[in-house]
Amino acid sequence: MTVHSGTTKRRFRLGNRTRKGVLVVHIVSVGAWIGLDVVMAVLVFTGVLTDDDGTKVLAFQALELFAVWPMFISGVTCLVSGVVLALGTKYGLLRYWWVAAKLVLNVVLTALVLLSLRGGVAEVAEQGRRLAAGALDTVVAGDMMFPPIVSPTALLIAVLLSVFKPWGRIQK
Ligand code: HEM
């Protein structure tokens, strides 16, 4: 890790090996996050679309087991490593539109895991338990369709932004 000093301001830069190490963490956290989204999609669509009560209960309880905390940890790891990469390279945190857009996407998606997904998952898992106990006729889980559509779409946009780096600098 090195610090380059200019005539007017000192700028923090990651050394090449450190930058690559942080980039590996960043890309692995993205991979884990997208993988968790895919499993979430399989379980949610199975739970919503199946006519078999046993499968429905199993899908929503499996969702409760893995969905929230691993996804939140992947999101935070991606955010922290992304911020370190941005600050420690020529890109900067708010110097390029593609980085700023990813920052917004990452913060919003990670917040939604705790603010929206957590409650939704707990609700359908509880309904599943009551269905299994014979206290409910069905599970109402229509809203659960949104997270597995919104999250992978936003992550795909973030990957495209990372690779194509569109729109240039925020300030000339
Ligand atoms: C929203 C979730 C995110 C995804 C899916 C994502 C994805 C990626 C990917 C795939 C790369 C590798 C691109 C390449 O090497 O061609 C990358 C690099 C990078 N990301 Fe992210 N990222 C995300 C969030 C962030 C955030 C929040 C920041 C900072 C605010 C950030 C900053 C960077 C920077 C600066 C690089 C370039 C690193 C370098 O080449 O030195 N990313 N990102």
pLDDT of 8 higher than 90: no
Separation CA 137–CA 75 (nearest Å): 36
The amino acid sitting at 148 is P
170 within domain boundaries: no
Q: How close is the Cα of 139 to the center of ligand 1, in Å?
A: 38
For residue 102 and ligand 1, the question of a CB distance below 6 A is answered with yes
Question: 3-state DSSP call for residue 139?
Answer: coil
Q: Is residue 85 part of a domain?
A: yes
Residue 1 lies in a domain: no
For range 71-80, the mean pLDDT: 98
Residue nearest to atom 1 of ligand 1 (CA): 106
Neighbouring CB atoms inside 10 A of 126's CB total 15
**Residue 151 resides in a domain:** yes
Residue whose CB lies within 8 A of the most ligand 1 atoms, among 18, 28, 102, for a mutation test: 102
Question: Is there an atom of ligand 1 within 6 Å of 162 CB?
Answer: yes
For residues 41 and 103, give the distance between their C-alpha atoms in angstroms, rounded to a whole number. 24
Residue 41 has pLDDT above 80, yes or no: yes
What average pLDDT does range 54-72 have in this prediction?
Answer: 94
Q: Is residue 171 part of a domain?
A: no
Full domain range(s) for residue 152: 7-164
pLDDT band of 10, cuts 50, 70, 90: low
pLDDT in tens, 88-127: 999 999 999 999 999 999 999 999 999 999 999 999 999 9
Is 114 in contact with 121 (CB distance < 8 Å)?
no
**Alpha carbon of residue 97 to chain centroid:** 20
Is 169 within the bounds of a domain? no
| Number of domains making up the chain | 1
Residue 138 lies in a domain: yes
pTM assigned to the model: 0.92
> Is residue 81 included in any domain, yes or no?
yes
